[in-house]
Amino acid sequence: MSRSKRARSALLSGHARPFQVPKVCGADMELGNFIVGADGNDDTCRAAARTLLKQISGQTRSSRSWNTPRDTASGSKYYSDWYDDDGYGGRSHYGTRGDGYDAQDWCRKYLRTNGGCTYIDLDHLEVCTPEVVSAYDCVAAALAMFRIARQAKEDAEKTLPAGQRIQVLANNSDGQSNSYGSHLNFLMTRQTGENIFHRRMHYMLFLATYQVSSIVFAGAGKVGGENGVTGVPYQISARADFMEALVGQQTTYRRPIVNSRDEALCGSAGRSPTCERSGEDLARLHVIFYDNNLCHVATLLKVGVMQIILAMIECERIDPSLILDDPISALRVFSHDPTLQRRARTVDGKSLTAVELQFRFFEGASRFVAGGGCDRIVPRARDILALWCDTLTKLQAASLSRDVAALAPLAPRLDWVLKLFILRRAMEQHPGLSWDSPQIKHMDQLYASLDPQEGLYWGYERAGFTERLIADARIEQFVHDPPADTRAWGRAMLLRHADPDQIADVEWDSIRFNLKADGRYWPRYRDVNLGDPLSFTRNECEPLFRRESSICEVLDALELRHPNAHRPADESDASERMASDTDEPSFPLARVEETANPTRVQTDESIGDILEQDVRRES
């Protein structure tokens, strides 16, 4: 019996077996920014963020006039002169006051270059990667977004008065108990989300325990404690002191280890779990737990191992004996101990270090991958496992020595270790310095400066000290071009092909075009549904963009490819399609809808071959 027949039979019987989706992922990095050398004692974060954003070219989410920025309270000379510039409006999803302004989602721009986006979140520039399938591509895309922010800094500084410059930091706190996020996003099935957040609490606790113990490779390191924590010279995670809840939707207060925001970004039907053939059963895991990383290995493990763990949860392959009794307390215990000695209790009474816990997760993940659990779901899963194992082995050796000097082999790989060694070396060379010295705290912040001449990390990278996994040319490619194997490719191409005034609205999962004909007063909208993250790929769409000259012709060509697909599918059609499926995972691809004339085209092509080619190419 084919996979689809088994799935349908199980669905009808009420005992649906788990099915998997590729772990498409993306990252959102919020940056520290302020103006150095500005007059007075005013907070310059807002001025810095808006001046940076002005330098980044992109398509805003809505061109409607009432969505232009209206916050004129400051009247700052740095940005008051460009309120009326074209393209600086921005519609927001959350917390809007009704006039289009939202401090947490201000002036979002989607990039025609690589399909990512950028916006301002509470006076911080935030850069978001395009969707990718491979964790290796996620590393490249994240570093590319940092390069885009760096270029914006260089361009913005040319507009400032003499003696002033902008500092941009890929960090997560300002040392004054203010924290800002570094988020990851992963595609999962709706059923997986239901299991984690509504049906099986031990799934959520399993995920929380994994995240808490994973700081041993994903932490960025930080001098001192914040948010009321004292007596900590140096700790592993920059965000640990700010995690105060186990689960919740909030992101700016009482931050949870596991975020439960339910926003699929997979089309309007993304919340329905009824059909595995469509975006209706897709969901998104929104991870707010982690730090910004610059080291390639740390970033890869942070993303790639999470892909594997989430695939295990999706297949209901978890080990409840690993669950920590108190994940929030354990997080601080682990983070405050760079020697990796301290232990936390699991629900079955064992007392384990973070490294020991990670080895238990690794053992389960190894069996899962060996059994084919990540085939076509997590590209290069075996490579990720090998790097994970080698890193844990080195961490365990350092732990057994009880001396942080034994962490030296990991300094090229892990941010928290590299930063620790940089700061320890400074204190050895200058005996008057200590962990409480302002100079050491300043160096802590400079580690993540995006200025290539000032950022401590970049100096070690230039010297060849850090372990690089992604070639410079690949990173630069992601600065200028989108990934070929997700909807980001189609989004970028559609934005490039259309005139800016032809785009009425753009979101992660849709674009609305205003194609008003000459002489017509009323707008004529055409909507492109990008609800499936694995649709609108280069293989699927590139011939259309090569052949057609206008955006109207491109949209027409998408419809003409399947002239009969606009009719609504009845139950017999759905049954016929299910019966003809193969065992390969497949998804609906493109939908094009016209508001004035509601015809629809939907393709039912399998992405199995495309994914297989991508996996072979990654390997």
Hey, which residues are catalytic here?
121
* Sign of the torsion angle spanned by Cα atoms 265, 266, 268, 274: negative
How far does CA 55 lie from the centroid of its chain? 22
- Strand pairing report for 234-235 and 243-248: unpaired
Residues 6+ apart with CB under 8 A from 4: 276, 277, 578, 579, 581, 582, 583
**How many CB atoms lie under 10 A from the CB of residue 395?**
25
**Which is nearest to 531 in space by CA: 556, 513, 507?**
507
Give the burial class of 306: count Cβ atoms within 10 A of its Cβ; 0-12 exposed, 13-18 middle, 19 or more buried: buried
Instruction: Specify whether the CB–CB gap between 230 and 348 falls below 8 A.
Output: no
Burial letters 341-372, b for 16+ CB under 10 A, else e: eebbebeeeeebbbbbbbbbbbebbbebbeee
CB under 8 A, 24+ apart: contacts of 91-99:
91/61, 91/62, 91/64, 91/67, 91/505, 93/263, 99/66, 99/70
Please give the distance of CA 245 from its chain centroid, rounded to a whole number. 21
Pair 107, 60: CB distance under 8 Å: yes
Closest C-alpha to 182, from 75, 264, 255, 283: 255
CB neighbours (10 Å) of residue 65? 9
DSSP lists the bridge partners of residue 165 as 36
Query: 616: alpha, beta or left, given left = phi > 0 and alpha = psi -120 to 50?
Result: alpha
Hey, how many other C-beta atoms are within 10 angstroms of the C-beta on 305? 26
SS3 content of the chain, % helix, strand, coil (to 5): 40, 15, 45
CA distances from 256 to 215, 240, 288, 489, 546 (A): 15, 10, 8, 33, 47
- Cβ atoms of 23 and 189 within 8 Å: the answer is no
Residue whose entry in the numeric block shows the structure tokens 């003696």: 163
Do 307 and 385 form a contact (C-beta atoms < 8 A)? no
Whole-angstrom CA distances from 43 to 169, 188, 449 are 16, 40, 19
| Amino acid at position 424, single letter | R
Q: What are the distances in angstroms from CA 85 to CA 52, 68, 89?
A: 15, 9, 9
> Six-digit token pair at 204?
């959520």
How many angstroms from the chain centroid is the CA of residue 532?
Answer: 17
Give the separation between CA 291 and CA 211, rounded to whole angstroms.
Answer: 12
∠ CA 83-88-92, nearest 5°, is 115
The crossing angle, in degrees rounded to 10, of helices 327-335 and 201-213 is: 10
Phi-psi region of 470 (alpha: psi -120 to 50; beta: other; left: phi over 0): beta
